[in-house]
Structure 1
């Protein structure tokens, strides 16, 4: 009887132990499931593998820069300027100019005034076109003509008396406009109170046009002032002929004229 009671108690203890172990195992499994649910409910971290980023090759970067420049942007993506600044045939193509031929004439005039002798407010000056140095000195171009016009302006600013010998004593009214200037020597005065004349020559240089300016005495032919400057090609090419560039009388893309 005692042995049967001990065996029954031992079996009951085993059953209780087994039940407790099963319950603890279920609780442990439940805890793992809860942890798994919590982990899946958390937001995923935005981790980027910098080593796996597709970096552009140097050749691709050069191609992108050329494409940006072609589209009017520089290498930093800034909007650039258009490459064409006039619809006129033969217009200057490039970046906007910060200086024009008048700025170079201004500097040359200052040099002339700095070393000028004998010329004063009572000695009128005439200004002629600048001749091409490698010709018979009877040919000029648009640059030589515009330089003469700019020198008239600059000399007048220094209060040096300038005589415009191309002015007639009447105004010609035509269908093309009203004019007082002429290149016909028969329409001009043969005697003018000019004591000195500003003239010069031009020579093409590797970087532009080399301009030599001087003031001469009409009677003595003495040089009383001189100046020299290199005008860059991009400033020269910014001058656009009004009659186009496909006519006769062209030399190296420049229309020549006499006088």
Structure 2
């Protein structure tokens, strides 16, 4: 049987260790499943400290850096919101490149999905325009999502849209997003964010010594002199 002194000492050590953890500015999207202490009553009505919120034990889905970034963006959009009600339909569009509004990348596509989930967690009324009119049963599987406009419904009752852009820099990614009322183009909320490349490991890669851009070859003195690119993008 563990005596009360030993249990108290263990709890004190764990508490001090948790308090000593300081955020790393270079890794500002790190996600840690730290436990928290809460005072709860047992069946006899006696209050005691218990370590709670084990993300694995609670059955919550694990989160990565891109999910945490999406949640932080949505948190600020909600904070800056001055008109959008949570019961008004909202559409989350794909972030595009600031220098080419007709282009995107894999990072932006993943961020779009993360922001959709984050807005839903804040109990906003979301519309998914990628849900097709009919289910498509194929040999590869059953598909309901599509980006083919001919398969998508028209006339969705949406007047508020989240639009956003991103830019790749030699240090990381710059993001700008805003919720717009498409009936009058009024901006209801806006967010701007910069994330260091080290915080998005697995998505970004530094520039090479020689890279191709818009049909031209560029030579740099060393790797990483130019802007980062998203893994999988054509150079």
TM range (shorter): 0.5 to 0.7
Matched, 1:191 2:155: yes
Residue of structure 2 equivalent to 1:25: none
5+ residue gaps, structure 1: 1-96, 241-248
Matched, 1:109 2:74: yes
Residue of structure 1 equivalent to 2:91: 126
Tell me if structure 1 keeps the 8 A contact 2:135–2:143: yes
Matched, 1:151 2:115: yes
Using the alignment, how far apart are the partners of 2:106 and 2:75 within structure 1? 23
The Cα shift of 1:174 comes to: 1.0
Show structure 1 runs of 4+ deviating over 4 A. 249-257
Using the alignment, how far apart are the partners of 2:104 and 2:185 within structure 1? 21
Structure ranking higher in strand proportion: 2
> Secondary structure at the residue paired with 1:155?
helix
Count residues in correspondence.
Answer: 152
Q: Which has the larger radius of gyration?
A: 1
Using the alignment, how far apart are the partners of 1:173 and 1:128 within structure 2? 26
Using the alignment, how far apart are the partners of 2:112 and 2:103 within structure 1? 14
Alignment of 1:2-21 (within 5 A): none
Which of these residues, 120, 138, 147, is aligned with residue 102 of structure 2? 138
Change (3 A) 1:185 1:112: same
TM-score using structure 1 length = 0.54
5+ residue gaps, structure 2: 1-29, 32-63, 205-213, 216-227
Tell me if structure 2 keeps the 8 A contact 1:140–1:256: no
